[in-house]
């Protein structure tokens, strides 16, 4: 089922109301779903490989903790932040300032930034671990079967 952007995200605690959460595609809802956004976002950094290592390690640890506590929504949100670390670092790898488009809508010229590429690879490794985790995949399937 698609991610529902019509919910009152400012007033929903998804830890108390996991039945309202929908996985959606990719990173959908990553900056909306509380209390997880507030728990994970402060650790999300990818500017340098050193920051990416610390950040991805911490967020992956949160993923494991959520999973251990049978908190699928938290685990899925941590997985989304790992994915977003990879995708945002890739965007900054390819485009100076992370801007793919010019103000007139034309695509900016690609400029490969090796430092950001390393940050992206660091996040990609942890993202792959999370998204292929067998227990996580079972939890995801059960959540989707029960709630959509």
- Which pLDDT tens digit goes with each residue over 55-82? 999 999 999 999 999 999 999 999 999 9
Q: How confident is the model at residue 140 (pLDDT cuts 50, 70, 90)?
A: very high
Question: Does the residue 35 lie in any domain?
Answer: yes
Residue 104 lies in a domain: yes
Is 69 domain-assigned?
A: yes
Assess whether pLDDT exceeds 70 at residue 1: no
Place of tokens 């941590």: 78
Q: Is the pLDDT of residue 91 over 80?
A: yes
**41 lies in some domain:** yes
- Whether pLDDT at 148 is above 90: no
Is 1 inside any structural domain?
A: no
How many domains is the chain partitioned into structurally? Answer: 1
Mean pLDDT across 95-104: 88
Per the structure, the complete domain to which residue 138 belongs is given by: 9-147
Half-sphere exposure (Cβ direction) of 12: Cα atoms closer than 13 Å = 16
Q: Please, which residues have CB within 8 angstroms of residue 117's CB and are 6 or more apart in sequence?
A: 89, 90, 93
* Any domain includes 4: no
Residue 88, in any domain of the structure:
yes
pLDDT surpasses 90 at 54: yes
Residue 35 CB contacts under 8 Å (≥ 6 apart), including other chains: 13, 14, 15
Computed over every residue of the chain, the mean pLDDT equals: 95
18 neighbors 72 (Cβ within 8 angstroms): yes
């Amino acid at each position: 089922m698609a991610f529902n952007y019509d919910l009152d995200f400012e007033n929903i605690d998804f830890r108390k109301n996991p039945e309202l959460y929908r996985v959606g595609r990719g990173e959908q809802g990553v900056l909306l779903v509380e209390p997880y956004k507030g728990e994970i976002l402060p650790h999300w950094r990818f500017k340098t490989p050193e920051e990416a290592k610390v950040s991805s390690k911490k967020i992956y640890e949160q993923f494991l903790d959520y999973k251990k506590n049978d908190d699928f929504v938290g685990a899925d949100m941590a997985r989304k932040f790992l994915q977003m670390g990879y995708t945002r670092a890739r965007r900054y790898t390819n485009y100076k300032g992370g801007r793919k488009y010019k103000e007139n809508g034309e695509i900016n010229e690609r400029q490969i930034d090796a430092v950001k590429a390393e940050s992206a690879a660091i996040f990609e490794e942890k993202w792959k671990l999370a998204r292929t985790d067998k227990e996580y995949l079972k939890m995801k399937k059960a959540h989707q079967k029960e709630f959509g």
